[in-house]
């Protein structure tokens, strides 16, 4: 996996959960465990496909993968997409100050006839997981095929376990995380066998 992208992902994940790493060695340790989980989950999927004489990873394979992981590592809840619908405060009759005469911004929907742009892009698209290309590479290494839906499901399994690990690491009361503490948590909890 691209070390720079992985390092950025791990740092963002650590920040998201309000954790702090003691050193770059701790970050490297966590990156290695993230690499392990990606490789292990895709490899389990590949092995199950081979056992079933299948040339692709499919939904049936992932059901077997999930039951295998639950049996050997324990069960975790994997978050689905989406969230609560959030309406602006004006919807509830409360003035947020966003919509007033002083908030004079340019019209972002102007047509740019000179450059052939009918409407400029507002905001960005959904950010893709850094694991998608890695999962694809490992699947290609095993000379298997998988649809984008299956790859996204594999990524959800990986991210579910990473969220679970971060929540467990958050229980640390000693301050900054060390490599020793991370290894101890992973070794002590059956649910993290998939990281080994």
| pTM, full prediction | 0.70
SS3 25: helix
> DSSP class of residue 174?
S
Dig out the tokens for 104 from the structure: 């004079």
CB neighbours of 6 closer than 8 A, spacing ≥ 6? Answer: 31, 34, 35, 130
Q: Per-residue confidence of the chain (196 residues) as pLDDT tens digits?
A: 556 777 888 888 888 888 888 988 998 999 999 999 999 999 999 999 999 999 999 999 998 888 877 777 666 655 544 444 455 656 556 666 666 666 555 555 666 666 666 655 555 555 578 889 899 999 999 999 999 999 999 999 888 888 888 888 888 877 788 999 999 999 988 878 888 8
What CATH code would you report for 1-75+132-196?
Answer: 1.10.20
Nearest CA-CA partner of 1 in 30, 35, 44, 46: 35
Domain spans of the chain? 1-75+132-196
Per the document, the length of the chain is 196
State how far the Cα of 133 lies from the Cα of 122, in Å rounded to an integer: 26
pLDDT at position 11, please?
A: 87
């Amino acid at each position: 996996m691209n070390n720079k992208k992985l390092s950025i992902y791990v740092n963002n994940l650590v920040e998201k959960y309000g954790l702090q790493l003691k050193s770059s060695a701790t970050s490297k340790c966590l990156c290695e465990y993230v690499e392990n989980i990606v490789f292990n989950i895709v490899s389990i999927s590949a092995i199950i496909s081979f056992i079933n004489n299948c040339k692709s990873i499919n939904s049936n394979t992932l059901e077997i993968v999930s039951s295998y992981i639950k049996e050997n590592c324990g069960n975790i809840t994997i978050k689905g997409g989406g969230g609560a619908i959030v309406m602006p405060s004006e919807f509830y009759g409360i003035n947020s100050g966003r919509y007033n005469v002083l908030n004079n911004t340019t019209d972002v929907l102007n047509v740019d006839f000179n450059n052939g742009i009918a409407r400029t892009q507002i905001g960005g698209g959904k950010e893709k997981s850094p694991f998608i290309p890695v999962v694809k590479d490992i699947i290609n290494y095993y000379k298997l095929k998988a649809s984008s839906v299956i790859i996204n499901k594999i990524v959800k399994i990986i991210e579910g376990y990473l969220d679970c690990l971060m929540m467990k690491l958050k229980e640390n009361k000693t301050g900054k995380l060390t490599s020793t503490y991370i290894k101890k948590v992973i070794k002590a909890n059956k649910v993290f066998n998939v990281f080994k």
